[in-house]
Amino acid sequence: MPVETIVNDKKGIRKTSSPTKLRIAGVIGESIVDGPGIRYVVFAQGCGHHCPGCHNPQTHSFDGGNLMKIGDILQEIEKKPLLDGITFSGGEPFEQASAFAGLARRVKALHQDRNVFVYTGYTYEEILRYADIRPEWGELLDVADILIDGPFMQEKKSYQLLFRGSSNQRIIDMRQTGRSGRVVLAEV
Ligand code: SF4
């Protein structure tokens, strides 16, 4: 049974439903390398990008990992009072966009001060282009405070980059981007 939640975003106040389970490769309860502060990280299972040099090839199969109830993940998150936010990494979170959006909404309903970082191998422009035929992509964009976009590119790899693997990837401030109508990079 999908879970119904009340959403208040740029489309107004409305009811929406989201899947109850996520296929995940794993979680990290308290990470300090997947965004600023202390973060709960959920790694999506399943990714079709197959970036050469990917550090997480075990996350590519769409049949691997474990199916977890979103309610159970939420309970684990609630055991971590010091969190600054949550991060969705991969795998490709946008392949389970509705479920991740549902988790983010439930976290934010409990803790308005916790921010949501979303990694994706798609570019922001690609996500916008296909949001009409994949409306759940818009749903996940709506709850993301920061989007780190684009595939990992081995030739642009650098260990000096904060929160990114390669320099083509951008750290996009989704709130500022939404307000200004152009891509605004975050200062992190
Ligand atoms: S998007 Fe991420 S998980 Fe997927 S292949 Fe590229 S680096 Fe690996």
Q: Where are the domains of the chain?
A: 3-180
pLDDT by residue for the chain (188 residues), tens digit each? 555 555 555 555 555 667 899 999 999 999 999 999 999 999 999 999 999 999 999 999 999 999 999 999 999 999 999 999 999 999 999 999 999 999 999 999 999 999 999 999 999 999 999 999 999 999 999 999 999 999 999 999 999 999 999 999 999 999 999 999 999 999 88
| Element (DSSP H or E) covering residue 104 | helix 97-110
Residues 6+ apart with CB under 8 A from 157: 53, 165, 166
Look up the CATH number of domain 3-180: 3.20.20.70
pLDDT of residue 80: 97
Nearest partner of 31 among 89, 72, 109, 94, judged by Cα: 89
> What's the confidence (pLDDT) of residue 135?
94
pLDDT at 70: 97
Res 12: pLDDT:
58
Q: Which two tokens stand for residue 55?
A: 């550090």
Among 45, 92, 119, 123, say which to mutate for ligand 1: greatest number of ligand atoms within 8 Å of CB. 92
The CA distances from residue 16 to 37, 81, 166, in Å, are 30, 27, 35
Look at residue 13 in the predicted model and tell me its pLDDT: 58
Q: For residue 47, how far is its CA from the centre of ligand 1 (angstroms)?
A: 6
| Residue 138 and residue 163 in contact, taking contact as beta carbons nearer than 8 Å | no
d(CA 116, CA 37): 12
For residue 185, the tally of other CB atoms under 10 A from its CB is: 12
DSSP 69-93: EHHHHHHHHHT-TT--EEEEESS-G
* 138 ligand 1 Cβ < 6 A: no
Residue 178, sorted as left (phi over 0), alpha (psi -120 to 50) or beta, turns out to be: alpha
Ligand 1 centre distance from Cα of residue 53 (Å)? 9
List the residue whose alpha carbon is closest to atom 6 of ligand 1.
51
